[in-house]
Amino acid sequence: MPETKSPYFTGQWWKRTDVKRHLVLWALLTAIIGYVGTEVQVRAMGAPASKAMENVINLMRIFTWAAAPIAAFVAAISVGALMGKRHYGDNPPPEAEHAIKNSPRATALWIVTSALLCLFALVAGLIALQKDNEALLDYQAIKINVTGQQWAWNYDYPGSAGVRSAVLHLPVNQPVVFHVTSKDVKHSFWIVQMGIKIDANPGEFTETAVTPNKIGVYDVRCAELCGLLHAYMQNKVIVESKEDFDMWMANEPDTGKTTWTEEGAGA
Ligand SMILES: [Cu+2]
């Protein structure tokens, strides 16, 4: 007796309407998640002020677009299930058919895919980190001691007759190495638009380095919850021309009185 099989059982799963609907939803959600996760987020961080930050942004774009199809896949199935399995009426719905079959091929596919994505994220991340750390070895770099305390940052320029400032001044296109420590609890020294961040631990020095490549005023923040006023533990970094930096060095060897203005560089 000839049997007409429905596409559910023929193995031609791609002909099923619900599969087609989910595929469309998947493509749509991939685009939305990828776009919001990259463009919107990157714009919110502001323009990059160093090569390191450009690398961070590129890496974020790549990672987000690599993860977007997976997030979208989960979301598409969730939305599809919520839309397609609605129940109307007063009585509880009849038992659904929980025919989840084991498929070694599907299992292998998701294990291999996740493993490859993790490996890719690890290797790409380590390469970016290595690139950033190369600046640590630059013998021409300016060395600056950064001290965090509840709830302020102070900067000492050891090579320059004991200049200490509450505002960080940096000359443009000159590598800088920061030696970071804390007076009390753990903080984290973060220059947002330069893509560097390192823990500030009491009794120890950590190091990070960057070469600012754009004149302007940027944000320094604490990135480690450190007490009541953690959210206010932020100030500015002024990146200026070599001449302006030297002038500031010569004229303001004060102890924390340095202020900054909206005009920024050279002020
Ligand atoms: Cu903090």
pTM of the model: 0.71
**Between the CA of residue 151 and those of 193, 229, 255, what are the distances in Å?**
21, 6, 17
Residue 187 pLDDT level (bands cut at 50, 70, 90): very high
Check residue 102 and give its pLDDT: 75
User: Which CATH fold topology does 141-251 show?
Assistant: Immunoglobulin-like (2.60.40)
- Ranges of each domain in the chain: 13-83+107-134, 141-251
Give the pLDDT confidence of 56-71 residue by residue, as tens digits.
888 888 889 988 999 9
* 83 C-alpha to ligand 1 centroid (Å): 44
Highest mean pLDDT among 55-64, 89-98, 254-263: 55-64
Q: Which residues surround ligand 1, an ion (CB under 5 A)?
A: 187, 222, 226, 230, 233
Residue 267 pLDDT level (bands cut at 50, 70, 90): very low
Check residue 18 and give its pLDDT: 81
Question: Is a pLDDT exceeding 80 seen at residue 85?
Answer: no
Question: Is a pLDDT exceeding 90 seen at residue 89?
Answer: no
* 22 C-alpha to ligand 1 centroid (Å): 44
Residues in CB range of 227: below 8 A, 6 or more apart? 150, 151, 185
DSSP annotation of 96? P
Question: Is a pLDDT exceeding 50 seen at residue 155?
Answer: yes
> Looking at this protein, which amino acid is placed at residue 242?
K
* 148 C-alpha to ligand 1 centroid (Å): 9
* 221 C-alpha to ligand 1 centroid (Å): 8
Residue 67 corresponds to which tokens in the numbers above? 């993860």
Residue 145 corresponds to which tokens in the numbers above? 């001691």
* HSE-up (13 A, CA, CB side) for residue 56: 21
Residue 34 pLDDT level (bands cut at 50, 70, 90): very high
The predicted model gives 241-260 an average pLDDT of: 68
* 256 C-alpha to ligand 1 centroid (Å): 19
* 231 C-alpha to ligand 1 centroid (Å): 7
Q: How far is Cα 208 from Cα 192, in angstroms, rounded to an integer?
A: 14
* 209 C-alpha to ligand 1 centroid (Å): 20
